[in-house]
Each structure stands twice: as C-alpha cells, then as structure tokens.
Amino acid sequence: MIAGNKFRKLSACEAADFITDGALVGFSGFTPAGAAKAVPRALAARALAMHNRGEKFRIRVLTGASTGAALDDALAEVNAISWRAPYQSSSALRKLINRQETEFVDMHLSHLPQMVEFGFFGNIDVAVVEAVDVTSDGRVYLSTSVGASPTFLRHADRVIIELNQHHSKRLPEMHDIRLLPLPPHRSFIPIDHALSRIGTPFAEVDPAKIIGIVETDEPDGVATFDAPGECSERIADHVVGFILQEMRLGRIPPEFLPLQSGVGNVANAVMARLGQHPDIPPFVMYSEVIQDALVDLLESGSLRGASATSLTLSEPQLAKVYDNMDFFGSRIVLRPQELSNNPGVIRRLGVIAINTVLEMDITGCANSTHVCGGQVMNGIGGSGDFTRNAYLSFLVAPSIAKSGKISTVVPMVSHVDHNEHSVQVMVTEQGLADLRGLGPIERARRIIEKCAHPMYRDYLFEYLEAAPMGHVRHDLKRCFELHQNLLETGSMLPLVIA
Ligand code: 0RQ
C-alpha cells in the first residue's frame, strides 16, 4: 500500500499483465509531458518476448497527442501497436504507419475526448495514467499534462496509475479540469478569459476501477530547443511586423489578444521575438503546449499567463518552474484538450494562432501532415482547431526544404489539412501574404510573390498564367508536376537545382 491511498502497489510488469492482446488502451500524455512511461515500456518488453515465442500481441493505443520514448517509440519498435490515434511524432511508429502495419487515425485534438465519450472508438479496456497523487475516493492529481486523461479515466473499464515522484506535488495548482456533458445537454463553457478557472484541480475516477499503482521516478524527457536559425528569425520578424501593423490599424485591440503557437523552433522563435518587442503589450496565451520560451517570458513579465493542456518543458526550465511554484502556479492553467483546443472558446477569446505546415499552395490550402500526399509526418495535431477558429491565423514554413530540392509553395498541396476558407495569412522567410479579402487569382499572385523562394517563382507564375481560365485556375494535368519530379528525380525542379 502507498501512504495516503488504499490501492495495491504493482510492479510495471504486473500492471502490464492486465493488458491483453487487442485491448484498447488510453494512455496519458500530450507530447512527452505527462506520458505514461513504466507500463508501456513493460508492455513493449512483454510484446517482444511473446513475439519471439511466436505469439500475437498488439494493442490499440489512444493518447492525448504525441508521447515520449517509453510509449510510442518503445511499443512501435517491437511492432506492438495495431491502431493509433490521434497524433504521433515517433520515427519508429511513422515507419509502421507508412508501411500500413499500424492503422493511424489522424484527427483534430479537440475532437478526441468527445469521440471517446460518444463511444465512436468502442470500449476502452484499460487507462494508464501518470499522476502525482491519487486519493482513496478517486481523485487523480495529474502530472505535466491533462490531455484526454480525465476522459480515459471516466470511460476505461480498468485503470492503472503511474505515480511519478519526479514531479512537484504542487503541479495540481495549475490544473483546471472539467468534462463536457453529452449533447444536447452541453451548455455555455464559462471561459471568458484565457486564465479563467472553471473546474477542479483533479480528475475523477471510480476507485473500484483502479487495479493498482505503479511507482515511478522519471523525467518526461523533453528535448531542449536549438537556438533559432536565420530562417526562423526571419519568419518571426514577418509575423511580428504584421501584428504591429494590425495593432496600428486598430484591428488588434490595445490590450492585445491571446496567442497560440504550435510546437517547434519557428514557433519558439516567434514567441521569443514577440516577448522582447517593446511595442507589444504584456499578453496571455490560449494554446495547447507551453514550451521553453514561455517560462522566460513569464519571468520577464511580457507574458502575463498561459493556458494550455501540457507543460512541455526541458528539465532545466521545468526545474525553474518547480523551484518557484508560488510565482508560476497561478500563471499557468492546464486544461483538458477539449477545452484548451475548443473551437467555441478559441473564437470567443479571439485567439491569434501561429502554426507550422509542410507545404502551402497558391490557392491558400495547406498541408501539415503528408509528404507527397502519402507519407505521414506527425499529424494535424491542434493546428486545425486553432487555424479554423482563430481571430487571426498564420501558417508558416520555410520556403524550401532539403536544400532547395523541395519548394513548400506548390500549385496544389498533395494533401489538404487546412483549406482556403480557414487560412488567413501565409508566411515564409521570403515574406508574408495576407489573404484576407482576396479572390483566388489575387491570392495566388500574392502567395507566389511574397512566399515562394525565388528559385520557384517563375515556375509558379508560369503555371498560373498557363492554367485554364476559371474562378480558380488549375491545370489538373500539371498541378502535381513538382511532386512527380521530386518522386522521380529527388528534386522538384531538377534542371534549376542542378
Ligand atoms: O525533415 O527532419 O529530415 O530535416 O520535414 O520540418 O522544417 O524541421 O519543421 O520540425 O517544425 O515540423 C509541419 C511537420 C513541421 C510540424 C511540421 C521536412 C524537413 C524536415 C520537419 P528532416 P522542419 P518542424 C500544435 C501544432 C502539425 C501539427 C501542428 C507538424 C521535416 O510543425 O507536425 O501544427 N505540424 N501542431 O526537411 C517534404 C515538404 C517538407 C518536408 C518540410 N514540403 N516536403 N519534406 N519537410 N517541408 C501542437 C500540437 O499539436 C502538439
């Protein structure tokens, strides 16, 4: 028994034994933050041993978003995942998905909890959830992410808690947990400010469902960021310059609007640049991930507070937060992902959203997920929740990839995640295209002129002018010519690059 609760203490291997071949398992984790660790690792070891004996063992995996090395990587490396939703960023898992050995359901992160709630995925057999504390009456104090864990705890038949000593016991001071009722009984969500608190600091579970507790002491393993490169800095300059212009024009109010920024180096550079700019007033964030740059911005006072669903911090930054919970505890709110990414709340608060894409096309559609239409990278994540519903949304990308062999501005994207009805502003290191109020041909010209790399501009203009007349101009025979070239020769414009 663990002091403070009545639950049975289990080793990770004992806990893993409760999970059977074919089970649907809901794991905690939104990025490596708060991801289950010991039980999935033990499951991977068991799967490997079973596979070596010629026995079948593969499970169906639900999480909040991507996870850490002990979960997606460990299970994928032994081919133990038959089905996976909703977002991943593991290279081992990506290979299985692209070989069609694992079925991957890519979906908006705000939709995941309600799809579980509606029963669309069937029964969750077991939830494995990392926490910093659990009480005998079923209060589960989660760790560095909330994600979909409250929903998994409610719906799973059986529950295993990983109690991770590594984290501050004061983490729940940041948690604000409330689940939405089923339609038609959903009422107004009373979040009218990014930092509104509307729930409890704990998730709830029927204590009778808890099989046992696995004690751990392990960091999340979040990687540190590289210093932003020149390309990220130039994209950040364009975004910040545009926001300042919108403020001068009175289209962003003087008190500013809440910001969301996606994951990665560009997003980190944009946030740092915004925080340093003397003309940007102190602001708040309504986002899904709190990453390293935000800790320094909170300390400097340029960020007044942040709402998200996960605290995705490298160890030095997390230590800073834990050492000063009196300061950070009230300035960070961690919510379930159906609230951090809720379309209604995002629109109500007037969020400014900044997300990275793989490619964008001259009509204003963007692809965040699939290389050459087929090979998945990570998934749409929360980028669709925010891009569609933001007051002002930016999609950003370097104008070229792989040393210029790839143009990220193409005639037609090879996979559509964000369509032209949702996309407002496109940005590369070359420049920024404000698409609001423009018809298709004007958009196309603006995107090519402002965003395309000079190496690809002539090709794109020529494509546009030669395409058959219409409201939108596209040549269905040529629209994927650049992608075809890439697949056949290794570069989109072989003659130009050579
Ligand atoms: O390849 O790793 O081999 O060098 O794609 O590209 O430029 O390093 O950018 O790491 O920010 O990832 C869209 C994938 C960008 C990410 C994506 C190659 C490029 C490189 C990575 P290498 P970069 P990033 C909310 C927000 C969707 C989810 C989202 C993502 C690799 O930002 O997953 O927005 N977004 N969530 O060389 C072929 C192209 C390419 C290309 C780049 N057009 N074709 N390869 N690459 N463009 C947060 C959450 O939801 C948690």
pLDDT 10s digit of each residue in the chain, 498 long?
445 678 999 999 999 999 999 999 999 999 999 999 999 999 999 999 999 999 999 999 999 999 999 999 999 999 999 999 999 999 999 999 999 999 999 999 999 999 999 999 999 999 999 999 999 999 999 999 999 999 999 999 999 999 999 999 999 999 999 999 999 999 999 999 999 999 999 999 999 999 999 999 999 999 887 778 899 999 999 999 999 999 999 999 999 999 999 877 788 788 888 888 999 999 999 999 999 989 999 999 999 999 999 999 999 999 999 999 999 999 999 999 999 999 999 999 999 999 999 999 999 999 999 999 999 999 999 999 999 999 999 999 999 999 999 999 999 999 999 999 999 999 999 999 999 999 999 999 999 999 999 999 999 999 999 999 999 999 999 999 999 999 999 999 976 654
232 lines ligand 1 (CB under 6 A): no
235 lines ligand 1 (CB under 6 A): no
Q: How far is the CA of 460 from the centre of ligand 1 (A)?
A: 23
Atom of ligand 1 nearest to the CA of 407: 43
Choose one of 106, 291, 358, 422 to mutate for the ligand 1 pocket test, by most ligand atoms within 8 angstroms of C-beta. Answer: 358
385 lines ligand 1 (CB under 6 A): no
359 lines ligand 1 (CB under 6 A): yes
Chain mean position to CA 414: 21
Q: How far is the CA of 365 from the centre of ligand 1 (A)?
A: 16
- Whether residue 373 is annotated as binding a ligand: the answer is no
486 lines ligand 1 (CB under 6 A): no
In one letter, which amino acid is 222?
A: V
Atom of ligand 1 nearest to the CA of 357: 13
- Whether residue 52 is annotated as binding a ligand: the answer is no
400 lines ligand 1 (CB under 6 A): no
The per-residue pLDDT for 88 is: 98
Whose alpha carbon is nearest atom 45 of ligand 1? Answer: 371
Contact between residue 416 and residue 479 where contact means Cβ atoms under 8 Å apart:
no
Sign of CA dihedral 354, 359, 364, 365: negative
Cβ atoms within 10 Å of 53's Cβ, excluding its own: 8
The per-residue pLDDT for 1 is: 41
381 lines ligand 1 (CB under 6 A): yes
288 is catalytic: yes
378 lines ligand 1 (CB under 6 A): yes
- Whether residue 301 is annotated as binding a ligand: the answer is no
SS3 of 345, please? Answer: helix
Q: Could you tell me the CA-to-CA distances from 429 to 89, 239, 388, 403, 406 in Å, in that order?
A: 25, 10, 23, 14, 15
Q: Could you tell me the CA-to-CA distances from 153 to 52, 117, 140, 349 in Å, in that order?
A: 33, 11, 9, 29
User: What end-to-end distance do the CA atoms of the chain give, in Å?
Assistant: 68
Domain boundaries, the chain: 12-216, 230-489
91 lines ligand 1 (CB under 6 A): no
26 lines ligand 1 (CB under 6 A): no
Please indicate whether the domains covering 12-216 and 230-489 agree at the CATH topology level.
Answer: yes
The per-residue pLDDT for 185 is: 94
- The two tokens of residue 30 are 């939104």
Whose alpha carbon is nearest atom 19 of ligand 1? Answer: 401
Contact between residue 446 and residue 435 where contact means Cβ atoms under 8 Å apart:
yes
The per-residue pLDDT for 4 is: 67
User: What ipTM is given for this predicted complex?
Assistant: 0.97
Closest CA to 265 of 229, 294, 307: 229
Q: Which residues pair with 366 in a beta bridge?
A: 360, 418
Whose alpha carbon is nearest atom 25 of ligand 1? Answer: 262
The per-residue pLDDT for 295 is: 95
Chain mean position to CA 482: 29
341 lines ligand 1 (CB under 6 A): no
371 lines ligand 1 (CB under 6 A): yes
Contact between residue 147 and residue 336 where contact means Cβ atoms under 8 Å apart:
yes
Whose alpha carbon is nearest atom 34 of ligand 1? Answer: 383
Whose alpha carbon is nearest atom 4 of ligand 1? Answer: 402
SS3 of 467, please? Answer: coil
Choose one of 263, 310, 355, 376 to mutate for the ligand 1 pocket test, by most ligand atoms within 8 angstroms of C-beta. Answer: 263
Q: Phi and psi for 116 in degrees, rounded to 5?
A: -65, -50
SS3 of 286, please? Answer: strand
Choose one of 112, 146, 261, 356 to mutate for the ligand 1 pocket test, by most ligand atoms within 8 angstroms of C-beta. Answer: 356
Catalytic residue selected from 77, 288, 338, 429: 288
CATH 3.40.1080.10, applies to 12-216: yes
For 182-205, what is the HEC assignment?
Answer: CCCCCCCCCCCCCCCCCCECCEEC
Contact between residue 308 and residue 334 where contact means Cβ atoms under 8 Å apart:
yes
For 56-119, what is the HEC assignment?
Answer: CCCEEEECCCCCCHHHHHHHHHCCCEEEEECCCCCHHHHHHHHCCCCEECCCCCCHHHHHHHHC
370-371/375-376 β-pairing: antiparallel
The per-residue pLDDT for 263 is: 76
- Whether residue 321 is annotated as binding a ligand: the answer is no
- Whether residue 266 is annotated as binding a ligand: the answer is yes
- The two tokens of residue 394 are 């930016």
Contact between residue 395 and residue 366 where contact means Cβ atoms under 8 Å apart:
yes
The per-residue pLDDT for 293 is: 87
Closest CA to 256 of 354, 349, 342: 349
- Whether residue 264 is annotated as binding a ligand: the answer is yes
Whose alpha carbon is nearest atom 22 of ligand 1? Answer: 402
CATH entry, 230-489, from 3.40.640.10, 3.40.50.2000, 1.10.3720.10, 3.40.1080.10 = 3.40.1080.10
Q: How far is the CA of 369 from the centre of ligand 1 (A)?
A: 8
The per-residue pLDDT for 415 is: 98
- Whether residue 437 is annotated as binding a ligand: the answer is no
Q: How far is the CA of 370 from the centre of ligand 1 (A)?
A: 10
Atom of ligand 1 nearest to the CA of 408: 43
Query: The tokens 């190496």 sit on which residue?
Result: 455
List, edge to edge, every strand of the sheet that includes 283-286.
Answer: 332-334, 303-308, 283-286, 259-261, 352-356, 392-396, 425-428, 431-434
Query: The tokens 């490997």 sit on which residue?
Result: 48
- Whether residue 105 is annotated as binding a ligand: the answer is no
